[in-house]
């Protein structure tokens, strides 16, 4: 409907309670998501991210030794 009538609008996903809800909203085409801080932190916290950051910092520090 929005595309057919060329309406200038954006879809906002709300009541996000889990990281998967945010992913599903993005896949469904939502432009904006109102995400609680707790859920946002869950989305960026991942064990492999922690390992990657630690490795990067270690490599960076070795450059100056």
Is residue 4 domain-resident?
Answer: no
Residue 43 CA to residue 24 CA, distance in Å, equals 13
What local confidence, expressed as pLDDT, does residue 16 receive?
A: 95
Report if residue 3 sits inside a domain. no
- How high is the pLDDT of residue 1? 79
Q: Tell me what pLDDT residue 44 has.
A: 87
For residue 48, give its domain range: 12-62
Q: Is residue 6 part of a domain?
A: no
**Which pLDDT does position 47 carry in this prediction?**
87
If one counts the domains in the chain, the total is 1
pLDDT in 10s for each residue of the chain, 65 residues:
778 888 888 899 999 999 999 999 999 999 999 999 999 999 988 889 889 999 999 999 999 88
Residue 5 lies inside a defined structural domain of this protein: no
Start-to-end CA distance of the chain, whole Å, equals 61
């Amino acid at each position: 409907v929005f595309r057919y009538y060329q309406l200038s609008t954006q879809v906002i996903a709300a009541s996000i309670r889990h990281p998967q809800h945010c992913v599903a909203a993005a896949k469904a085409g939502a432009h904006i998501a109102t995400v609680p801080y707790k859920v946002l932190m869950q989305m960026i916290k991942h064990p492999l991210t922690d390992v990657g950051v630690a490795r990067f910092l270690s490599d960076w520090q070795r450059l100056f030794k």
